[in-house]
């Protein structure tokens, strides 16, 4: 029996070794993730809450920075953040549950459930096209809307009539264009079919059954424990974000949640009990532009530049807040990042770095932003000196700073917003010089010229933007509007 006892002891030792090794590995990954995200926070590129999980459960959940800068209240995993367009996946789920119950069909026309909607367009648009952004209905979230209407409350019916009933921009089903009006209309359909408000339908059908007690429709006047305040980072520090009446994002972006509740949502999806299998598969089947029903479905390249993972996820942005929820269904990996300082441009880098760590790949570290240096310079010196400093740093310290095109774009728009039109134009021109094959840089330069009243050069740059990126809906719309207005400027620009 000695040989049997020895064998048992060896097996036990191996199991203990494996368990200790697994625990040590999990601790190392947790530390590596925390170090990476802390670096982003130290560079003022992230302020919020993070949750990372895999098939075994939560690896790390932690808050970084302040939920409210005025009172210096810290962020925690229980802090409630506005999640913007991450709302859309919940709206899509409600619609598909109603389809499963036979209360509507994906090929139903819009007017079947909203009979007061204009028939010349509503008779041509299906519920499926609202879900996957191919309806052709114009999206209401334009710069003019945020400038003129975003502070005023509307009833659902009044909002639909004024902001979600425009002439079609293309034949439904033929093109893709991200569309908040479509999801607003889906919310109205949910209310019509269920007989309760959109907020009540969410609570009764999803949040209460799933135990998501810290998720709901955000109403500004309500006293909501642990609600984060929205902020923006400016050259002079953090400021409070502009007010937005939360009746307006509605089914396109009105929800608040926590990283912990969104983990519950992710696990519920893995259990495959919320929808019949065919409808669940349809919800995650990408169409045009890799967009399904309330979800992006696309590959994400990790930080080694080679490894790709198929992800299902969505981002969200709303005044003062940004959110990103990314799932890797094959390995049951989840990364949720919620930010309350308007730093949506950095969340993708955080997610890619975190997933790289989970896959044994060295994460890419964040860099100091050249936009901060530029704004510090432009606060004291001329735009000519600012451009010179940019070029000098790019030549000597390229590895220390983020020189991506988004950096100069941010500087240009900050100058544009503060009324420094001539300086903004010079910065956008520099961005075109640095990134001559990017349609977005020409689009921004065109916008600056248009703001300065120079329609001729605006047309030239919008045309170039559309040549480089035919999917640029903003450039296409602006061009159409300017050319429809006609005049000598339009004819001259066309000739050039």
Q: What Cα–Cα distance (Å) separates residue 348 from each residue in 44, 261, 269, 311?
A: 15, 21, 22, 12
Catalytic option among 22, 85, 356, 404: 85
Written as one string, the DSSP assignment of 170-195 is: S-TTS-----HHHHHHHHHHHHHHHS
Backbone phi and psi for residue 386, each to the nearest 5 degrees, phi listed first:
-65, -45
CA angle 96, 98, 104 (to 5 degrees): 100
Backbone phi and psi for residue 297, each to the nearest 5 degrees, phi listed first:
-130, 105
Q: Is 85 annotated in the active site?
A: yes
N- to C-terminal Cα separation, the chain: 95
Q: Is 134 left (phi over 0), alpha (psi -120 to 50) or beta?
A: alpha
Q: How many CB atoms neighbour CB 462 within 10 A?
A: 31
3-class secondary structure, 53: strand
Which residues share a beta bridge with 336?
51, 325
| Integer Rg of the chain from CA | 25
Backbone phi and psi for residue 126, each to the nearest 5 degrees, phi listed first:
-100, 165
How far apart are the C-alpha atoms of 103 and 118, rounded to whole Å? 22
Backbone phi and psi for residue 441, each to the nearest 5 degrees, phi listed first:
-65, -40
Which residues share a beta bridge with 368?
401
H helix intervals, 43-116: 87-100, 110-113
Torsion sign across C-alpha atoms 297, 301, 306, 308: negative
46 contacts 347 by C-beta, under 8 angstroms: yes
Q: Angle 455-468/488-495 helices, nearest 10 degrees?
A: 40
Residues with catalytic function: 85
């Amino acid at each position: 029996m000695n040989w049997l006892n020895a064998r048992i002891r060896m097996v036990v030792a191996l199991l203990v070794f494996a368990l200790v090794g697994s625990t040590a590995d999990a601790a190392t990954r947790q530390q590596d993730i925390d170090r990476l995200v802390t670096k982003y926070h130290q560079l003022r590129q992230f302020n919020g809450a993070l949750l990372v999980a895999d098939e075994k459960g939560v690896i790390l959940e932690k808050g970084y920075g302040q939920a409210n800068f005025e009172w210096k209240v810290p962020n925690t995993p229980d802090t409630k953040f506005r999640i913007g367009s991450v709302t859309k996946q919940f709206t899509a789920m409600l619609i598909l549950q109603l389809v499963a119950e036979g209360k509507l069909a994906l090929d139903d026309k819009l007017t079947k459930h909203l009979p007061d909607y204009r028939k010349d367009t509503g008779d041509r648009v299906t519920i499926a096209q609202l879900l996957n952004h191919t309806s052709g209905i114009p999206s209401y979230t334009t710069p003019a809307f945020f400038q003129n209407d975003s502070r005023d409350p509307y009833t659902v019916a009044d909002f639909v009539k004024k902001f979600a009933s425009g002439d079609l921009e293309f034949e439904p089903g033929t093109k893709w264009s991200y569309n908040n009006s479509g999801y607003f209309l889906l919310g109205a359909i949910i209310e019509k079919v269920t007989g309760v408000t959109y907020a009540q339908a969410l609570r009764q059908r999803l949040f209460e059954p799933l135990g998501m007690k810290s998720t709901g429709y955000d109403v500004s006047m309500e006293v909501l424990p642990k609600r984060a305040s929205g902020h923006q980072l400016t050259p002079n520090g953090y400021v409070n974000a502009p007010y937005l009446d939360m009746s307006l994002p509605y089914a396109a972006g009105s929800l608040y949640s926590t990283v912990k509740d969104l983990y519950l949502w992710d696990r519920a999806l893995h259990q495959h009990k919320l929808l019949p299998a065919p409808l669940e598969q349809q919800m995650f089947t990408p169409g045009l532009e890799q967009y399904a029903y309330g979800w992006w479905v696309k590959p994400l390249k990790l930080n080694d530049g080679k490894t790709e993972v198929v992800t299902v996820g969505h981002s969200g942005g709303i005044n003062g807040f940004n959110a990103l929820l990314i799932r890797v269904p094959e390995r049951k990996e989840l990364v949720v990042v919620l930010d309350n300082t308007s730093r949506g441009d950095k969340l993708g880098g955080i997610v890619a770095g975190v997933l790289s760590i989970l896959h044994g790949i060295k994460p890419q570290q964040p860099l100091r932003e050249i936009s901060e240096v530029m704004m510090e310079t432009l606060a004291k010196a001329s735009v000519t000196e600012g451009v010179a400093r940019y070029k000098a740093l790019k030549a000597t310290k390229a590895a220390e700073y983020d020189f991506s095109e988004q950096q100069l774009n941010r500087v240009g728009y900050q100058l544009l917003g503060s009324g420094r039109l001539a300086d903004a134009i010079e910065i956008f021109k520099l961005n075109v010089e640095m990134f001559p094959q990017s349609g977005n840089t020409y689009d921004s330069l065109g916008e600056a010229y248009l703001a300065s009243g120079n329609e001729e050069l605006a047309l030239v740059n919008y045309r170039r933007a559309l040549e480089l990126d035919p999917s640029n809906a903003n450039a296409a719309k602006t061009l159409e509007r300017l050319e429809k207005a006609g005049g000598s400027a339009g004819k001259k620009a066309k000739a050039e």
